Structure 1
Amino acid sequence: MTDPAQYRPAPGSIPTEPGVYKFRDPSGRVVYVGKAKNLRARLSNYFQDLSQLHPRTRQMVTTASQVEWTVVASEVEALQLEYTWIKRFDPRFNVKYRDDKTYPVLAVSTGERIPRAFFYRGPRRKGVRYFGPYSHAWAVRETLDLLTRVFPVRTCSKGVYNRHESLGRPCLLGYIDKCSAPCVGKVSEQEHREIVKGFLRFMAGHTDAVVRDLNARMHEAAAEMDFERAARLRDDLQAVQKITEQQAVVLGDGTDADVIGVWADELEAAIQMFHVRAGRIRGQRGWVVERTEDGDEALAELLQTFLIQFYSDAVEQEESAAGLEEKIDRRGVDQESHQSTPWTRDDGIHRVVPKEVLIDREALDLERTKEMLGTLRGAAVDLRVPQRGDKRALMETVQKNAKDALRQHKMKRVGDLSARSQALQELQEALGLEQAPLRIECTDISHIQGTDVVASLVVFEDGLPKKQDYRRYHIKEAAGDGHSNDVASIAEVTRRRFARHKEDVRALPDEADEARFEDEANPEQEQQRRFAYPPQLFVVDGGAPQVAAAQAVFDELGIVDVALIGIAKRLEEVWVPGDDEPLILPRNSQAMYLIQQLRDEAHRFAINFHRQQRSKRMRASELDAVPGLGQARRKALVQHFGSVKKLKAASVEEIAGVKGFGPKLAQACFEALHGADGGASKS
């Protein structure tokens, strides 16, 4: 813990112009980024009596050891630079706009050869169209179940598709006409893409044409006395109408708008957003964030920061997806419907930023925020607080959702927050640390009888996993040729991790270069930053021998500011370097639960990596290195002989008899299976 008075800038040295500032900890890591109209006035607030500061702000200034700033020409530039630095440095004390839950979506894998529709939660990926988010998982599944009556698109996984393709018969959905069964050639790839095209157009909002077409076909079937087909089309029409009714019109003028409401207490704030497109609510999202300051002005600033960060991220994702258009067009996916969705580009206008953004309170610097949103959209954006009518009524609904989301979040998180704080405090006291171990790293080794020896490194910050900082290692020196030394493996991982730390500290760019507004984020430098600061606590999976090996590496590299412990599986004992007896933590203590969670996560991550490596090795074939022998020919070869054993028993002449194999390729295959000497003796 540091005293802010020790690094407080000299009186009069802080400029009064607009700018962006960074607080760094003793390791040089950026822990907070902020902006200000007047840098001197804003930074002075951080160096007042600690008892007057918000608890989170107090923790930040006592964690930091220096502050630096960059002056910019205007407040808009300050907004842009703040967003850039938050993305680049991922400061721990900045407000994180995390979804209050993972919303389910309906996804269509347009980038696949045979696209499929499926239920999905998680981060967005290239080559996939998303519709939603929906409020409940059942809503996605019901929508998909109803739509496959009208648009029988593929919904199965790749494994199921490949299995039925090889069997030559469709799955149950293919038999009941809820899938067009492209796996067995019931429809061609192009015909299936036409079905996908209709599915995408319907989900993008073009429902009238589908309803008209179903009505016409139903009456035509009835006129031809084909009542069975007419009844099936009637059911399809009812399914389409049911989906359409679920997207009720809330704004009669066909408005495209995002409606954003905020509800807050003294510690946290909930943000709710309704996406309204063509007058209908097409999606809902929510976030819960910690507050760093009290008062209405702080809430207005929080809303402004949210608007800039959310829409900047959305435009960035849209631009990265725009590169798929050429690929999508080449594969024959519906280009027109791809462009007609409200989330994609059209004539340089970013549709992810709607024409109207309705908020429940005025954001800080409303005009400048509106100007920046207009720059992101490529056209004017109407940012305002609705005063009356349907839009005001909808805003009240959004605010009610925000209030309810905050209440549910409090009920869900109160136990978690207190438990994590208690666990970190107990660890600090048990290990005699100067401060709570806010960043903890843990490593584990995985192998089977000395083969495919790998290690994992998992990272917890504030008692929660930080998965983007996880690392995997191939053990190079302490294992190989069927043998493994777990103690030496722990030493190797520890040495590689902290040797990398020392290298990356030296390799960090000059602070003057970092401060340049024009500087682009460098992914390589970003990786360096993640290892340029050490954890407060390093945990190894094992007992006294593993801890002693890791401590020897610490001594070798001169690592003195990192606490080290080991966790032994048998009795859950905690081993500290230099102690002959283990430290026994109470079985029901939060500190023990946290260490167990760390160890189990490292174990899981290591086992998964080991399985991947083992599976990769087992899939390797002796025929992989034969030039001119691709996957199709390898498959044909095994199918012709019936098994690998019979293939190995075959002569060069028998291999040459397989369709597509000449004498030269047959000889190469034989030599790959038997070696050059065996090939010479049998040819």
Structure 2
Amino acid sequence: MADPSTYRPEPGEIPDSPGVYRFRDEHRRVIYVGKAKSLRQRLANYFQDLAGLHVRTRTMVTTAASVEWTVVSTEVEALQLEYSWIKEFDPRFNVKYRDDKSYPSLAVTLNEEYPRVQVMRGPKKKGVRYFGPYAHAWAIRETVDLMLRAFPVRTCSAGVFKRSAQIGRPCLLGYIGKCCAPCVGRVTAEEHRELAEEFCDFVAGHTGSYLRRLEREMKQASEEMEYEKAARLRDDMDALKRAMEKSAVVLADATDADLIAVAEDELEAAVQIFHVRGGRVRGQRGWVTDKVEEIATPELVEHALQQLYGEESGEGVPKEVLVPALPEPPEPAAQWLGERRGSAVSLRVPQRGDKRALMETVERNAQQALALHKTKRASDLTTRSRALEEIAEGLGLDSAPLRIECFDISHFQGDDVVASMVVFEDGLARKSEYRRFQIKSVAGQDDVRSMHEVVSRRFRRYLQEKRRTGEWGGEGEEPAEGEGPEPAEGSAAGAGARDEDGRPRKFAYPPQLIVVDGGRPQVAAARSAMDELGIDDVAVCGLAKRLEEVWLPEEEDPLVLPRTSEGLYLLQRVRDEAHRFAIRYQRSKRSKSLKASPLDAVPGLGASRKQALLKHFGSLKRLRAATVEEICEVPGVGRKTAETVAAALVTKSSGPAVNTATGEIVEEE
């Protein structure tokens, strides 16, 4: 535990101007980011008597080893810089709202030639228009199903779309009138895009003009005695009205607004957001956070605004944002929102009328979310704490292993050997810390040598970082060029891979426990790799799949934990996650290395007959050399198909061979 007085700046060193400050720990990790109107006054609050600090603020300042700051011109700049640093460094002590569930959104992929309507979760993609989020995926599907009658936009996957285009027949939705079937040319790409844009306008709340237009067309068709067309338009109107009824009208003036409510106690806070578009509730979401320090409702609201609108722009930011309390001062936050929207945004507290009544509903939802979260977390915290204590007791550790790293090796019949490293902190997966390794110096199915290599690379990187920051003066082997691990795809590490202090990609801090997927040989290899580098303060164990035995270095017999042990269950989850991540990486590498087969271009040749051809001849090279008569000998292949296959292969001067057992492309003989 550090003494804050050891790194406290002199009062005259801190400027009395707006800025953003960062606290770092002994490993140079950024653990807290904050902003202030006056850096001097704000930082002085952290360096007072520890007994007068909030318990979590006291933990933060005693964990930190240094503080630094950056001066900016205005409070708006401070707000923007604080948000970017929180996203970049992911500080452990900052207010970080966690979604209490994964909310689905209705998405229209306007970035594709033929836009598709679908349900999406996760981060937003460029060129895709989103509506929601919604509480349930089934609610989106029901609404879309009703609207497809009037807006028959494509909803199929890329594979189904391509398949229908190849065979010249639409899918079922095309036959029943719920898709305009652009795959077979019933409409042009421009007509389909116009239909998708009308769908977006209707979902966005511009419903009145479209319904009036349908009504005029229905009456006109009736007057012209086109009764079938009039009946179809009538049914389209009914379907759209039923879809609209699923979103209750809450504001009569067709307002576009977001309502944010907060429920809090001394340690935690829950935030609920209602998205109102066109006077109707179009989406709802909720967040929960730990209160690291004594933070008031205005500051919680400001952090919620950052979380909600930090990645949004344009129509993603509504004209009006209603909150329970205004940030102090409110002008920088309102100006920041206006810059993201491109026009002025009203940020205010509702005082009376329908908006105040709706805010009370949102507040009740926040209170219920906080109560439910506290009930769940009490159970989760107790279970995780017991699991870590059981692991520490079973392995003979001095304290509970708060950071666990697990390694697994994966390959395909000795080729494409890769490894994974997953990280669990406080018993929870920390996916931004996951890493992937390519094993190049070990050939074949040698998991022991591969494990030795990957553990060596991980800890050589650790020692390199320690030397670079001047925190370790020992001698050690420098990692070879290109030897470092790859960050997990889509992780924060991948986004912040530049060589600066405090980035998530660095390995300047070790785990308390290393878990390897395997038995005694793999454990010995990992321990040997660490001994060679002089790492003696990290425990190692292995979990064998056969009997779920725990192996320790230099022990003749395994440790058998009870089947009901929470510690064993946590080790299994860590091991299974490492195995899943390694398999995923290995498969992605293998799929990228495969080339398209010339047989894919043969019309009417399905997977079964392709497999039969490859099994009969053994490779594409032999198939290419075969005559039409020899190809006809394959069961199920007629002369016409044989002639088509032979012609297709003749047009290819060369091509990859295919493994007869798996159907995968390999090098030709």
TM-score by length of 1: 0.80
Q: Counterparts of 1:562-573 in structure 2 under 5 Å?
A: 562-573=538-549
State the match for 2:154 in structure 1.
Answer: 154
Q: Structure 1 586/65 Cα, relative in aligned 2: closer, same or farther at 3 Å?
A: farther
Alpha-carbon offset, residue 507 of structure 1? 6.4
> Does the Cα contact within 8 Å between 1:638 and 1:647 map onto a contact in 2?
no
Report the equivalent of 1:541: 517
Distance 1:423 1:531 in 2: 28
User: Using the alignment, how far apart are the partners of 1:71 and 1:314 within structure 2?
Assistant: 26
In 2 relative to 1, CA 396–234 (structure 1 residues): closer, same or farther, beyond 3 Å?
A: same
CA distance in 2, matches of 1:285, 1:360: 16
Q: Which residue in 2 is equivalent to 1:402?
A: 366
**Aligned pair in 2 of structure 1 residues 376, 166: CA closer, same or farther (>3 Å)?**
closer
Distance 2:74 2:193 in 1: 50
Q: 1:610, CA displacement in angstroms?
A: 2.8
Question: In the TM superposition, what is the alpha-carbon distance from 1:458 to its structure 2 partner?
Answer: 1.3
The alpha-carbon deviation at position 10 of structure 1 amounts to: 6.3
Counterpart in 1 of 2:476? none
Which amino acid in 1 is paired with 2:459? F
- Of 391, 405, 410, the residue aligned with 2:355 is 391
- Aligned equivalents of 2:397, 2:71: Cα separation in 1: 38
Query: Distance between the aligned counterparts of 2:452 and 2:93, measured in 1?
Result: 33
Offset of residue 585 of structure 1: 3.3
Alpha-carbon shift at residue 299 of structure 1 (Å): 2.5
AA matched with 1:399: E
Name the structure 2 match of 1:7: 6
For residue 620 of structure 1, what is the aligned residue in structure 2?
595
Establish whether residue 370 from structure 1 lines up as the match of residue 320 from structure 2.
no
Deviation at 1:264, TM superposition (A): 0.9
The answer (yes or no) to whether the contact 1:308–1:373 under 8 Å persists in 2 is no
SS for the counterpart of 1:546 is helix
Shift in Å at residue 413 of structure 1? 3.0
Q: For structure 1, which segment, 371-380 or 46-55, has the greater mean C-alpha deviation from structure 2 after superposition?
A: 46-55
* Alpha-carbon distance in 1 for matches of 2:597, 2:150: 48
- Choose which of 490, 507, 524 in structure 2 pairs with 1:532: 507
CA distance in 2, matches of 1:61, 1:561: 26
- 1:333-344 aligned at under 5 Å gives the runs none
Question: What are the residue-to-residue correspondences of 1:430-445 with 2, within 5 Å?
Answer: 430-433=394-397, 435-445=399-409
1:207 aligned onto 2:181:
no
Deviates more, 1:217-226 or 1:500-509: 500-509
Please say if residues 597 and 655 of structure 2, whose CA atoms lie closer than 8 Å, have aligned partners that are also in contact.
Answer: no
Looking at structure 1, the residues matched to 403 and 52 of structure 2 have their Cα atoms a distance apart, in angstroms, of 27
Q: Deviations over 1:15-63 (max 9, x none)?
A: 3725433222222211222234454554455456666654543443443
2:81 corresponds in structure 1 to 81
| 8 A Cα contact 1:258 1:358, kept in partner | yes
Residue 460 (structure 1) aligned with residue 424 (structure 2): yes
User: Structure 1 242/287 Cα, relative in aligned 2: closer, same or farther at 3 Å?
Assistant: same
Q: Is the 1:4–1:47 contact (alpha carbons within 8 Å) kept by the matching residues of 2?
A: no
- Tell me, in whole angstroms, the C-alpha distance in 2 between the residues paired with 1:185 and 1:563: 64
| In the alignment, structure 1 residue 105 sits paired with structure 2 residue 105 | yes
For residues 430 and 221 of structure 1, the distance between their equivalents in structure 2, rounded to whole angstroms, comes to 80
Please state if 1:494 is matched with 2:455. Answer: yes
Give, as a single letter, the amino acid of the residue that structure 2 aligns with 1:438.
L
SS of residue paired to 2:322: strand
Q: Deviations over 1:115-136 (max 9, x none)?
A: 2211222221223221112222
SS in 1 for 2:122: coil
Report percent identity of matched pairs: 56
1:78-119, Cα deviation, whole Å (9 max, x unpaired): 333322221221112212122222222111122223222112
Bigger fraction of residues in helix: 1
User: Which amino acid in structure 2 is aligned with residue 183 of structure 1?
Assistant: C
CA distance in 2, matches of 1:576, 1:277: 59
Deviation at 1:154, TM superposition (A): 1.4
Residue of 384, 387, 400 corresponding to 1:423: 387
- Number of the residue aligned with 1:669: 653
Deviations 1:562-593 (A, max 9, x none): 33222222232223333344344333232222
Q: In the superposition, relative to structure 1, how do residues 125 and 540 fare at CA in structure 2: closer, same or farther (>3 Å)? A: same
Q: In the alignment, is residue 449 of structure 1 matched against residue 448 of structure 2?
A: no
> Aligned pair in 2 of structure 1 residues 117, 377: CA closer, same or farther (>3 Å)?
closer
Question: Structure 1 CA distance, aligned partners of 2:198 and 2:370?
Answer: 39
Matched ranges for 1:11-26 at <5 A:
12=11, 15=14, 17=16, 18-26=18-26
Deviations 1:228-256 (A, max 9, x none): 44333222111111223334443344433
Give the Cα–Cα distance (whole angstroms) in 1 for the partners of residues 198 and 414 of structure 2. 54
What is the SS of the residue equivalent to 2:498?
helix
C-alpha contact 1:20 1:69 (8 A) present in aligned 2: yes
The match for 2:490 is none
Matched residue SS, 1:494: helix
Please say which of residues 121-130 and 421-430 is displaced more in the overlay. Answer: 421-430
Q: 3-state DSSP class of the match of 2:99? A: coil
User: Which residue, 554, 570, 578 being the options, matches 2:554?
Assistant: 578
Using the alignment, how far apart are the partners of 2:74 and 2:470 within structure 1?
Answer: 26
Secondary structure of the corresponding residue to residue 403 of structure 1: helix
Between 1:142-151 and 1:120-129, the stretch displaced more is 120-129
Among candidates 293, 311, 314, match of residue 313 of structure 1: 311
Task: Trace 1:218-367 onto structure 2 (pairs within 5 A).
Answer: 218-294=218-294, 298-315=296-313, 350-367=314-331
Q: Is the 8 A contact 1:103 1:285 kept in 2?
A: yes
Contact 1:508/1:529 (<8 A) preserved: no
Cα distance change of structure 1 residues 200 and 101 upon mapping to structure 2, 3 Å threshold: same
Distance change in 2, residues 1:426/1:44 (3 Å): farther
The CA deviation at 1:433 is: 4.4
1:461-501 deviation digits (Å, cap 9, x = unpaired): 2322222332222321222xxx2111101111112222333
Shift of residue 225, structure 1, vs aligned partner? 4.5
TM-score (norm 2): 0.81
Runs of 4+ in 1 over 6 A off after TM superposition: 507-510, 636-639, 671-674
The alignment status of 1:475 with 2:439, answered yes or no, reads: yes
**Higher mean C-alpha displacement, 423-432 vs 297-306:** 423-432
Query: 3-state SS of the aligned residue for 1:524?
Result: coil
Distance 1:425 1:41 in 2: 42
Structure 2 stretches lacking a partner, 5+ long: 472-494, 631-641, 659-669
Specify whether residues 543 and 650 from structure 1 end up closer, same or farther in structure 2 by C-alpha distance, changes over 3 A only.
closer
3-state SS in 1 of match to 2:270: strand
**In 1, are the aligned partners of 2:409 and 2:450 still within 8 Å (CA)?**
yes
Q: Which residue of 2 aligns with 1:324?
A: none
User: Matches of 2:531 and 2:513 in 1, distance apart?
Assistant: 16
1:514 match: none
**Structure 1 contact 108–130 (Cα < 8 Å) conserved:** yes
Per the alignment, residue 95 of structure 1 pairs with: 95
User: For the structure 1 residues 529 and 103, does the alpha-carbon distance in structure 2 shift closer, same or farther, using more than 3 Å as the test?
Assistant: closer
Q: Secondary structure of 2:230's partner?
A: helix
Indicate how the Cα distance of structure 1 residues 509 and 65 shifts in structure 2: closer, same or farther if over 3 A, else same. closer
Matches of 1:156 and 1:401, distance apart in 2: 35
Tell me if structure 1 keeps the 8 A contact 2:624–2:650: no
Alpha carbons 2:312, 2:340 under 8 Å: kept: no
Q: Encode CA deviations 1:380-420: one digit per residue, 9 max, x unaligned.
A: 43322122222222221221121122223223333222222
Residue pair 2:410, 2:417 contacting (<8 A) in 1 also: yes
Query: Is this contact kept in 2: 1:508–1:528, CA < 8 A?
Result: no
- 1:284 aligns to what SS in structure 2? strand
Note if contact 2:7-2:65 (Cα within 8 Å) is conserved in structure 1.
no
Aligned to 1:590: 566
Q: Which residue of 2 aligns with 1:191?
A: 191
Paired residue type of 2:499: Q
